[in-house]
Amino acid sequence: MELRPFGRLGRISALTLGGGGIGGVWGGTDRAEAVATVHAALDAGITMLDLAPSYGTGFESEVAVADALRGQTSDVMITSKVQLPDDDGRDFAARIRGSLHASLTRLERDHLDVLVLHTQFRRSGTVLPGTIDPAGYRDEIVPEFLRLQEEGRIRAWGITAVGDPAPILEAFATAPRPDTAQIVVNALDQNGDLWIHGDTVRPDNAALVRTAADAGVAVTAIRVVAAGSLTDALDRTVPDDHPAAVDFARAAPFRALAASLGESPAGLAYRYALSVPGVASVILGVKNRTELAECLAAEARGPLAPDELKAVTALTD
């Protein structure tokens, strides 16, 4: 598998196994299949696992990864997350340390390679439940991440760069910058149910990728199949007005294009994300070995040819 630069942490595989799928967030799976999927990913050359305490239905992805790695010698990098909406209180340092301690306990490790702030920013002077203000990030959260780095509890830190673009761009422009950022990258630029900011200006995700990369912030691509909307069929039942269902209906031309190119929709979506300049690694939301194999095959086919890329981008022109 191709290896790509990942900032000061060296190089990582072009694909990263995400914890949402193996944790049952994107349709049903079980612990044994989750463990087997981790083993298959490592055997295929994947060098990073992207987890979170919230990725789990019946068992946490962190627990499945601990099962998979127990007794094995592996230099795989582990990413996990912390959620810090300020409507839950502002004791950020204690919440960060508590969440990190719980993740490390589940993972049976003494440090994380990357700890990601998994909370959306809101614009200064606004109120939005479930988000965080830029001042809290800058004045309280970043200093705590840096302390944990100095203590050796984390090697690097990052942000989930989803939401109002103004504070995200400020985070990329202002030192100390995050080491990495998770950014929505998919062929139709669909944010789906991640967009909670109403009528405020929506982000240009391609511009976010470029800005992050130019600032030396390593980008990992998320929502590559748009929560299942860029696949053959949604793998879970949602109401017709759910963002994933709406996006799935809008993606009919994408599925037709994939068929004309002899690709599965998911395969085309992954190859598109792998073709975007500035993306260090594409995070997979797969829940089993069958879905993983489809992604591995897409990566092996390589980035899209110029005419294929032009056909995909034309869908949003």
Domain ranges of the chain: 3-316
Q: How many CB atoms lie within 10 A of CB 102?
A: 15
Task: Look at residue 220 and give its three-state secondary structure.
Answer: strand
Query: Backbone dihedral region of 309: left (phi > 0), alpha (psi from -120 to 50 degrees) or beta?
Result: alpha
The whole-angstrom separation of Cα 249 and Cα 243 is: 10
Residue 197: predicted pLDDT: 74
pLDDT value at residue 275: 95
In Å, how far are 13, 35, 287, 295, 303 from 299, measured between CA atoms?
A: 10, 22, 17, 6, 7
Residue pair 198/189 in contact by the 8 Å Cβ criterion: no
Q: Which of 241, 6, 270 is nearest to 113 (CA)?
A: 6
Separation of alpha carbons 317 and 240, rounded Å: 26
Contact 233/174 with Cβ under 8 angstroms? no
At residue 119, the pLDDT reads 94
R_g of the chain, CA atoms, integer Å? 19
The contacts of residue 102 (CB under 8 Å, 6+ apart) are: 53
**Size of the chain, expressed as the number of residues it contains:** 317
- From first to last of its 317 residues, what are the pLDDT tens digits of the chain? 999 999 989 999 999 999 988 887 877 788 899 999 999 999 999 999 999 998 887 778 999 999 999 987 778 999 999 999 998 888 999 999 999 999 999 999 999 999 999 999 998 888 889 999 999 999 999 999 999 999 999 999 999 998 889 999 999 999 999 999 999 999 998 887 777 777 677 778 899 999 999 999 999 999 999 888 999 988 778 898 888 889 999 999 999 999 999 999 999 999 999 999 999 999 998 999 999 999 999 999 999 999 999 999 999 87
Q: Which residues contact 138 (CB under 8 A, 6 or more apart)?
A: 174
Question: 3-316 — its CATH code?
Answer: 3.20.20.100
Per-residue model confidence (pLDDT) at position 125? 86
